[in-house]
Structure 1
């Protein structure tokens, strides 16, 4: 009997500890059908069907010399607030890349709509997973892991990414490391190189001052 009571107590402790973790595993649930926009004084505004419509994904503009990304996240489409979903359209001219990056708040499900892409991600053990995708293929990038997409073909590639968050977030690895002001000496020691090399990388990735 004593052992059963101890077992029950252990289960209760595990449940209490696990509950907060489960609560933060994704976007928090909302208590209404949707979160309406509010005016400056906090009163609900008039809502029409237009509020639930986003029309930014038009025809792909051509010619397109560089990688292009069109987002439909909460920032661009406020009706997504609380809905735990968002999209992005990615357009890759030949030879272009979506540089290594992470999404700290969501996994990414990528669907190739046109052309072909080489993709990959690195897990927390340092193992690289890669795949060459063609039109109609899908690939999953787990939440928070470093990943990339690359069009090494000769024709344009177009993909659609779905995220399990209205605000998945994007952390660019090159810009975060070399474009945010981390000390040159720290980076030189971290990458086992010299300061002039680090400065060349920074010059290419640091946004110009306005």
Structure 2
């Protein structure tokens, strides 16, 4: 079979369209998705309401080192199933770091509510893009790219709200994925051009932050 230019172009368009379709949450054929066992005729506004953020601003982070993440994703908020959106509130203690991580199923739009953050994202060529954010500014992290956020103030807490283009964006943390998931020490040592003793120290530090 011979392919002319028009035929080849049509094939390319079809395959590129398929890639776009499967790059996001699948479309649903109803207005929204009702969990199994629930009668859609008995739903009220409560089904579309998430209350998990009510007290999030009242949490005291004094003495804490880790970033506190409160999520409104499909697991916590079933009404999001099939809608392709979700949210998270990130609370940064003074000097707190959200280590390099990626969201394999969604881009992230981060809005800084309070404080200041140094954010960075690395593209597939290895180029690092950084920005110092202040209250009221927004930064976007493209889907699948590793990124991080650091509270550069060692005295004041920071808070941000993130929106995701998926009901279940997923999170892959670079440090924990590499050092706490059972990858053999010799594999990690060769990968980082170091010795197994150093790898064991890193693993121990991540287990006891």
Q: So what's the TM-score if we normalise by structure 1? A: 0.90
Partner of 1:174: 175
Deviation at 1:204, TM superposition (A): 2.3
Partner of 2:146: 146
d(CA) in 1 for partners of 2:156, 2:108: 24
Say whether 1:82 aligns with 2:85.
no
Contact (CA 8 Å) 1:108, 1:163: kept in 2 or not? yes
Deviations 1:139-160 (A, max 9, x none): 0111101111000202110000
Say whether 1:71 aligns with 2:67.
no
Q: Which runs of 5+ in 2 are unaligned?
A: none
Say whether 1:120 aligns with 2:120.
yes
Deviations 1:176-198 (A, max 9, x none): 00000101011011101111110
SS of the residue 1:111 aligns to: strand
d(CA) in 2 for partners of 1:174, 1:54: 31
d(CA) in 2 for partners of 1:71, 1:102: 16
Q: So what's the TM-score if we normalise by structure 2? A: 0.91
Alignment of 1:149-160 (within 5 A): 149-153=149-153, 154-160=155-161
Say whether 1:31 aligns with 2:40.
no
d(CA) in 2 for partners of 1:23, 1:84: 13
Instruction: State the Cα RMSD in Å.
Output: 1.7
Q: Which runs of 5+ in 1 are unaligned?
A: none
Residues 15, 47 of structure 1: CA spacing in aligned structure 2 closer, same or farther, 3 A cutoff?
same
Contact (CA 8 Å) 1:38, 1:45: kept in 2 or not? no
d(CA) in 2 for partners of 1:133, 1:12: 44
Deviations 1:67-116 (A, max 9, x none): 21000011110000001100000001111111110000001000000111
d(CA) in 2 for partners of 1:149, 1:86: 19
Q: How many residues are matched? A: 201
Deviation at 1:44, TM superposition (A): 5.1
Say whether 1:53 aligns with 2:49.
yes
Partner of 2:196: 195
